[in-house]
Structure formats: structure tokens, C-alpha cells
Amino acid sequence: MQHFWDQPLSWGTAGIFAAAAIGVLAFVIFFVTYAIYFERKFIGWMQYRQGPNRTGPLGLLQSVADVAKLLFKEDTIPKKADRGLFILAPVLAFVPSFAVLAFIPYSLNLQFADLNVGFLYYIALSGITTIAIVVAGWASNNKYSLLGGMRSAAQMISYEVPLVMSVVGVVMMSGSLNLRDIVIAQEGYFWHWNFLPQILGFGIFLIAAVSELNRTPFDLPEAESELVAGYHVEYSGFRFAFFMLTEYIYVYAIASLTTILFLGGWNPPIPQLDFIPGVLWFFLKFAVIVFCLFWIRATFPRLRVDQLMGLAWKVLLPLAILNIFLTALGIELIG
């Protein structure tokens, strides 16, 4: 992919970019469809239930049917909603979520855009989704969604700080923000992966990431038991589908990022296993992270807003800064 970027833009290269983008989109939508299926299935098993098992063999078509239903649903916009913003919000949420996927390196050569600012690009774009959620909450002209939107803004701003800070350690160790270089720096046995030397950063990253995703135990913006559905309470049909899609694409993005930053990306746990293609290793680790996210959802109760803020600012942020300090110390002493 990289050498196409270096060529001048012509119809040919533009076509290739478009084809690649459609390919990624198709893959991501496939992922989202089955991530939802497996989430429901896993959580079902954890709760003595079957999960979806009626639509298609083993319920495999359940999510497809759900999406089809959402697409064919009547498009309703509340009368008192701010029409323009109401329509804009799902798009504004979805576009950056999809754009962040461009820079993920699945293996040494399979990457759509090799960005030197790598991780910063993710942070910059995912911030836009926060705006979309606030916009959605505001434009719906519903008190529940307003509260949900406000919570979401507060939460995402709070958790982006420890999220970025926790990665600084990794960046210091590999000397680059470029995700490809970060993975290359982790080559070797699994104890060369960042999650062991950066165990503190790894923990902070995971907690902050779950919060970024608005998933249990940090699912306050859409806290069902208090705010009914939070910011998307007035949305239905395909607009609602876009919000769901966004949410799961971020699951995809965060799971990929965790794999890359802390679990050695496409590297096998021991170099002797490198006859198995890197992409498979990548997706194996990726699947473990996604499973953990589902697992957490089935296990934990939800935090309260003030506790959530307290955790971000009073616990995670100081720890992240401590982690930076320790990493610097480690690099200085051990080299």
C-alpha cells in the first residue's frame, strides 16, 4: 500500500484507494456484525442462556437480520429536534471511527497508511466522535439524551488524558509514534512485548480504553437503568445503527491498538512460531482483547459519574505520570 501513497494521484491510484477503503469497510462491517453476535452469544453463555439461536444456523444471521430491520425502519426525527444537527450527528460519529482504522498495521506489510504520528492520529480523530455524541444529545431535545451527552463529553475528555499518558511509556521505549515501528521494537520472545515492562501503563490503558468505549463498567452515557438509553434515546432506524456501528468500530480500533502497543502486534510469542502468518497472530491477540471486553461487560456493575471522574483524575492520571517517570528511569539505568 505504501508505494501508492508515494505516487502522484491519478485515476488508477485513486481507484485503488477507493477499492481498499471499500474492502476495509466491508471487513469492518463483517467484524461488527459478528462481534455483536459473539458478544450476545458469550454473554448468553455466561448467564445460563443460549444467546441468539433462531435466525440462521446457530443464530449466525441474527445480526444481519437486526441490521436489515434497522435499515428498513421508518426514519423518525422528533418534531422539536434540531433537524440539521440531528441528521449530522450519526455521520459525524461514524466517519472518524472509520478513518482511524486506516493506520492499523495488521502485519509487517499489510497497512493502509503508514503514519509517523500514528497514535496521535487516533486520539485526534476519536475526539471528534465525542463531539458527535454531545451533538446527538443536544439535538434530540430530550432531557435524558442531554444528560447522556453531557456525561459522555465529561467522561471522554477525562479518560483521553490517562489514555494518552499511559502510552507515553511505550513511545519512549520504542522511540517512535509510528505503530509499525512500535511493533518492530517488540520483536523477540513474548517477554519483549510491552505489556510486561509497561505493566502499569498496560493496566491504565485498558481501564481508560474501556471507558473510552463507553462500555460497562463505564457505560454511563447510555446507562440504561438511569438514562434509559442516554444520548441516542431518540434515534432509531439506520441513524441508531450508525451509533452502534461507531461503538463497535471503536471496539475494533481499541482492541487493535492494545494488540499493537502492548501485545507485540503481529509477532508470535516465541520466534520459532513465525511460520504462522503474522496476521493470524494479530487477530488471535485481537480476539482475546475483544473477548475480555465482553467478559467485563457480563461481570461488572456500573460506576457513578463522580466516581468515574475521580478515578480518571485522581488515580489513573497520577499513575500514568508515575509510569512515565519509571520508564524514563528504567531506560536511563538499564538502557
Partner 1 sequence: MIRTEELLLNVGPQHPSTHGVFRIVVKLDGEVITEATPVMGYLHRGTEKLAENLNFTQIIPYTDRMDYVSAMTNNYVLCHAVEKMMELEIPERAEFMRLIVMEMQRVASHLVWWGTYLLDIGAMSPFLYAFSDRERILSLFNELCGARLTYNYMRVGGVKWDAPEGWIAKVKVLVKDMYNRLDEYHNLVSGNEIFLSRIKGIGQYDAKTAIDYGLSGANLRSTGVKWDLRKDEPYSLYDRFQFDVPVGKNGDCFDRYECRMEEIVQSLRILEQALEQFPGEGDTMGKVPRVIRPPAGEIYVRIESPRGEIGCHIVSKGKAEPFRLKFRRPSFVNLQILPKLLVGESMTNLVTILGGIDIVLGEVDC
State which of positions 285-304 bind partner 1 (CB under 8 A). 297-304
Write out the three cell numbers for 84: 440539521
Q: Does 319 bind partner 1 (CB under 8 A)?
A: no
CA neighbor of 213 nearest in space, from 304, 152, 132: 152
Residue 192 or 302 with smaller CB distance to partner 1: 302
Residue 40 or 239 with smaller CB distance to partner 1: 40
Dihedral over Cα of 119, 258, 295, 161: its sign: negative
Query: Cα torsion for 85, 90, 95, 100, to the nearest 10°?
Result: 120
Give yes or no for a contact between 40 and 52, defined as CB atoms under 8 angstroms apart: yes
Write out the three cell numbers for 137: 444529545
Return the half-sphere exposure (C-beta side, CA atoms, 13 A cut-off) of residue 140. Answer: 27
Give yes or no for a contact between 261 and 194, defined as CB atoms under 8 angstroms apart: yes
Stretch that binds partner 1, among 113-121, 225-233, 244-252, 285-293 (CB under 8 A): 225-233
Residue 2 or 47 with smaller CB distance to partner 1: 47
Report, in Å, the least distance between residue 259 CB and partner 1. Answer: 26
**Whole-number Å distance between alpha carbons of 263 and 269:** 9
At 35, the amino acid letter reads A
Among 7, 26, 49, 318, binds partner 1 (CB under 8 A): 49
Among 111, 226, 279, 288, binds partner 1 (CB under 8 A): 226
Among 217, 237, 269, 330, binds partner 1 (CB under 8 A): 217
How many amino acids of this chain bind partner 1 (CB under 8 A)?
30
Q: Does 227 bind partner 1 (CB under 8 A)?
A: yes
Binding site for partner 1 (CB under 8 A): 43, 46-49, 143-144, 146-147, 216-217, 219-220, 223-228, 297-307
